[in-house]
Structures are given as structure tokens and as C-alpha cells.
Amino acid sequence: MDIDNRQVKIVKMFDDIAPTYDKANRVLSMGIDISWRKKACDIAFDKLGQREISMIVDVACGTGDMMGFWQKRSSKKNIKINKILGVDPSAHMLNAAKKKFVNFVFIKAGADDIPLLNECADIISISYGIRNVLKRKEAFKEFARIVKKGGLVVILEFTKDDKNGFLHKIKQFYLNKVLPFIGGIISKNYEAYKYLPSSIDGFLTSSMLQKELLEAGFEPCYAKSFSMDISTLIIAKKC
């Protein structure tokens, strides 16, 4: 199967699980992803150092979760955001997002081809979506086109690790056995939640991902893993 057809298949999978996506995420992460998202927003705001932000673009926005956190955390820090825009190729995910966030703007598009002007955004974020973007290097070039000089790319992702030991084995057991079982029950789509651990195993390490960002014109300025290295936050500034 060629790369375009594989990407279509992935988007179709997210269309199928859209109705139960938020519930599955909260259950499977036991709510810990909320703290990951808050940290990503807070650290990004500190790194950017602006009291007013013209636009934040959330790519692979899904049902809009991260957009909501950008709004809440900016309000808490008294930072003004003029526009928060969501981008996703899944129509069903966007429909769910529009019901949750009636005041946000959404665009149906892939990460590698976003219909926005050059240097129009202060921040581009993508949460648990970059490993599902098969044309990743093209997407990073697109991010570099859209982000202003000095602006940020903020990535939360399940990166691959090359560690061994007891904690690593617990993590692998959860991802390969527990997660597909529970996700399948909630969504009634076992194949979608079998895809998740395989997509992580076939993905990049944090250092590999940072290297690709550097090649696209971004300077990594923050990288940290949370919760037994399950989730990784990478922030990079456009040079």
C-alpha cells in the first residue's frame, strides 16, 4: 500500500473512533494526559515570552482538547490569544470538535498541506498526532512556513524509547495488552487500539524527532518525558 493510501486508512480509522475518542483518552491515560497538556501550554508560553499572541494553530486537533487547554492556560496566565485554529483531516473528529468549541475556527486539512499564509502563527502545536502523519518531513517544512520567526512548534507524543528494565516492561505490557483491550471495549474498534502500540514501536525516539525539527529550521529548546517515558514534550523555536 502506498503512502497516500495508508494515510487515508489512518484518517478513516479516526473517523470511526471519533464518537468515543475523548472518553477513551481519559480512561486510558487515567486523566494524566491533562497534566501533560497543561505543562506543554505553560512551558510554551514561558518560552515564547509574549503577553499577546496573534494565533495558535493546533494540528491534528482531533476533538479540540489541546485547543481548550491553550485557552484555559492563557486565561490563567493573563495572556491574550487573538485566534485559536484547529486543523485535522478527519471530518468526524472536526464535527465533534465544533460541538465542543463553538467559538473556535477549524479547517479540514492534513499536516503537510495547511491552507494558511506564510508566518501567520506564533505557535503550532500537535498532540499525539505527529506519528500518524506519514509525510512527516513535509509537515515540518509546512510548520516552518507557517510559524513566525521566533515562534514555536510544540509537540506532545508517545515517542519510541530504547530502554530496558522493569519499568520499560510494565510500559510495554500496558501499551500492548491493556490499552488495546480497554480501548477496544470503549470504542468497539479493537483494530484502532491495536494500531496505537504498533505506531509507537514504528516511530522515532525523542532525539530523532528533534533532529528532524532541526533539519526543518527549528532549534529544539525543551525536551522532557513524563510518566515512565510514556509521553514526551518537545518544544522547538523557529530560527
Per-residue pLDDT of the chain (239 residues; tens, 9 = 90+): 799 999 999 999 999 999 888 888 777 777 788 999 999 999 999 999 999 999 999 999 999 999 999 999 999 999 999 999 999 999 999 999 999 999 999 999 999 999 999 999 999 999 999 999 999 999 999 999 999 999 999 999 988 776 666 666 777 777 777 777 777 788 788 787 778 777 877 788 899 999 999 999 999 999 998 876 778 999 999 99
Q: What is the dihedral of CA 72, 77, 83, 87, to 10 degrees?
A: -50
Q: What is the residue type of 19?
A: P
Q: Are 160 and 131 in contact (CB under 8 A)?
A: no
For 214-231, the pLDDT digits (tens) are 999 999 999 998 876 778
- Helix, strand, or coil here: 59? strand
Q: What is the pLDDT of residue 126?
A: 98
With b for 16 or more beta-carbon neighbours within 10 A and e for fewer, the 58-90 pattern comes to: bbbbbbbbbbbbbbebbeeeebebeebbbbbbb
Q: What residue segments make up the domains of the chain, in order of their start?
A: 3-160+205-238
Going across the sheet that includes 56-59, the strands are: 105-108, 84-88, 56-59, 121-127, 147-157, 231-238, 218-226
In whole angstroms, what is the distance from residue 88 CA to residue 62 CA? 6
Which grid coordinates are listed for 92?
Answer: 468526524
Using one digit for the tens of pLDDT, what is the confidence trace for 69-103? 999 999 999 999 999 999 999 999 999 999 999 99
What pLDDT is recorded for position 80?
98
Instruction: List pLDDT tens digits, range 14-31.
Output: 999 998 888 887 777 777
Pick the CATH number of 3-160+205-238 from 3.20.20.100, 3.30.9.10, 3.40.50.150, 3.40.50.1820: 3.40.50.150
In the chain, the N- to C-terminal Cα span, in Å, equals 36
- State the sign of the Cα–Cα–Cα–Cα dihedral 108, 87, 2, 20: negative
